[in-house]
Structure 1
Amino acid sequence: MVLFLFIHSMISTPSGGQGTVCLELLEQVPEIDTIIVPISGGGLISGVALAAKGINPSIRVLAAEPKGADDSAQSKAAGRIIKLPATNTIADGLRAFLGDLTWPVVRDLVDDVIVVDDNAIVDAMKMCYETLKVAVEPSGAIGLAAALSDEFKESSVWHESSKIGIIVSGGNVDLRVLWESLCK
């Protein structure tokens, strides 16, 4: 198992534009068989899923979502959009909900949603900082947290994957919040 972190500076663009993230990743590492992407409103993962499946229909696209804002996981399980009454997560960039335009793409092209808690996200942020010397916001670190989670390691996808690409997006770190989280 090899993990590839693709650090992307998040810019608000339509899903097609966000699909270029996937194109760049697969251009650099074409043998990736699984991609893990943060999910919130669904724009980034929709672009990635459309691009990835267009290039390789058998590639797996997995969403990474915080436990305190798991509307995508609940929506996939229910087969319809679920709106949560409230969210509670350190990953403030992942508190939005799927919409009518992104839901069909997530429903049809995202293979699974991995849900992780805030402690796992903070551990992934810490790993990024200590190992890579890169400050990553909680929303961006969630893909790494998902890849390292027990839920993922126990899944069949883990055993079937040999090269996993992880989209790490966002460097908007409020250092006060980061230090408070790391000191808990």
Structure 2
Amino acid sequence: MEAKSQTTSEKYAADIASIREAQSREETAAKVLQETGAVLVHPYNDGRVISGQGTISLELLEQAPQIDTIIVPISGGGLISGVALGAKSINPAIRVLAAEPRGASDAAQSKAAGRILVLPETNTIADGLRASLGDLTWPVVRDLVDDIIIVDDKEIIEAMRLCYEILKVAVEPSGAIGLAAVLSNSFRENPAWKDCNHVGIILSGGNVDLGVLWDSLSK
């Protein structure tokens, strides 16, 4: 009973810390805006950011128009919203699939529930995918993202290794998750995606903390 009580207390403390961290960011941003007169450009829940992300689809389909499926990392939803809007404006039949880590699967849970869900705690090596969907990105994810593929951290690390060894490209965990999704059993063995013959994968970001990566490999 004592061990269980400690575990519950630790989880509660982590939840409180996460809430306070989010509040602190918002309060600090509001203070800077008030003091400097600056304009806040949200990193993902902003129409201008979403539109900019949409150019990825334009360039991708211009170079490879045969693509029938695009797989994109998902977190706050800005990247995949832009990609989905751009891709489906060119080819309404194209599939747009999201890739999400198991330890931060709020987008998948939100789609299943039909409303935005915010997780009290996240735990994944893909630290860039821990944000929650916004009021602008959620409707796009809800209506235009065909499905969300959940992958484990081990699968993400393996995808990073393949990027290093084969592509000679340094990709951070959050950016490599699309490749991890394509290689996962949940994708390859799902009959719904058996006719995905030309798959485009968005590799986003190269901010790799090698210390964290090596530590994760030894666990």
Which is helix-richer, 1 or 2?
2
- State the TM-score, normalizing by the size of structure 2: 0.77
- State the TM-score, normalizing by the size of structure 1: 0.91
1:177 aligns with 2:207: no
Q: Which residue of 1 aligns with 2:172?
A: 137
Which is strand-richer, 1 or 2?
1
Residue 163 of structure 2, aligned match among 125, 128, 131: 128
Residue 53 of structure 1, aligned match among 84, 88, 102: 88
Whichever residue aligns with residue 42 of structure 1, its letter is: G
Shift of 1:131: 1.0
Looking at structure 2, the residues matched to 174 and 180 of structure 1 have their Cα atoms a distance apart, in angstroms, of 10
Pairs within 5 Å for 1:79-94? 79-94=114-129
Shift of 1:156: 2.7
Q: Which residue of 1 aligns with 2:154?
A: 119
Aligned length, in residue pairs: 174
Moved over 6 A (4+): none
Residue 73 of structure 2, aligned match among 9, 17, 38: 38
Partner SS state of residue 35, structure 1:
strand
Encode CA deviations 1:50-85: one digit per residue, 9 max, x unaligned. Answer: 001100000000000000000000011111111111
Shift of 1:138: 0.2
Whichever residue aligns with residue 207 of structure 2, its letter is: N
Partner SS state of residue 14, structure 1:
helix
Looking at structure 1, the residues matched to 136 and 200 of structure 2 have their Cα atoms a distance apart, in angstroms, of 25
RMSD over aligned CA atoms reads 1.3
Looking at structure 1, the residues matched to 192 and 113 of structure 2 have their Cα atoms a distance apart, in angstroms, of 21
Shift of 1:183: 3.7
Encode CA deviations 1:70-103: one digit per residue, 9 max, x unaligned. Answer: 0000011111111111100000000000011100
Shift of 1:112: 0.1
| Greater radius of gyration (CA) | 2
1:103 aligns with 2:138: yes
* Higher RCO, Cα 8 Å, sep 6+: 1
Q: Where does structure 2 lack aligned partners over 5 or more consecutive residues?
A: 1-42
Identity of aligned residues (%): 74
1:16 aligns with 2:51: yes
Shift of 1:46: 0.2
